[in-house]
Amino acid sequence: MLWQRNTAPTLITLTHPAQAREITTPEQLVDLWTSRTLAVPDPAPALATATTTGLPVIVLTTQHLARTHQLVANSRMTVVTTHVPGHRPASLPRGYHHFHLPAEPMPYQLAAVIAELLKP
């Protein structure tokens, strides 16, 4: 994976959108799931920080937030969305750089998206 290639992913959360933190250990990945804020979500400040890193950007979010903020996946920004159980979107996103996972993905679905994200 990335660590085996001596590459550390960088985490930028909506909780601390101006802070880019290198993730150097698996234990730090817990911040992906535990970062929370009571503020109305606005991905713009975090995306602005992400563009300063010079690294490819992967946005993990809900399909609702992606649609509301018009997050468009492209060669520099991959978008991975999901939805709340029982609220599957009427149409799924299209495009090479946008992946959508069901609310409760099967292991093979999650593995397929991760494999795509890790491609050079």
| pLDDT by 10s per residue, the chain, length 120 | 566 667 778 888 888 899 998 888 888 878 777 888 888 889 999 999 999 998 888 898 889 899 899 998 988 899 999 988 988 887 777 778 999 999 999 999 999 998 888 776
pTM of the model: 0.82
Tell me, yes or no, whether 47 and 60 share the same domain.
Answer: no
Tell me, yes or no, whether 25 and 68 share the same domain.
Answer: no
Tell me, yes or no, whether 39 and 82 share the same domain.
Answer: no
User: Residue 114's domain spans which residues?
Assistant: 56-120
Q: Which residues of 33-63 are buried (b: 16+ CB within 10 A; e: fewer)?
A: eeeeeeeeeebeebbebbeeeeeebebebbb
Tell me, yes or no, whether 1 and 47 share the same domain.
Answer: yes
Please count the structural domains in the chain: 2
Tell me, yes or no, whether 41 and 64 share the same domain.
Answer: no
Residue matched to tokens 């590459």: 7
Three-class SS of residue 59? strand
Q: Which two tokens stand for residue 23?
A: 């993730």
Could you give the dihedral angle defined by the CA atoms of residues 98, 102, 103 and 107, in that order, rounded to the nearest 10 degrees?
Answer: -110
For position 81, what pLDDT does the model report? 92
Tell me, yes or no, whether 118 and 85 share the same domain.
Answer: yes
Backbone angles phi and psi of 18, in degrees to 5: -95, -5
- Domain boundary (15, 30, 51) is at 51
Tell me, yes or no, whether 83 and 114 share the same domain.
Answer: yes
For position 3, what pLDDT does the model report? 65
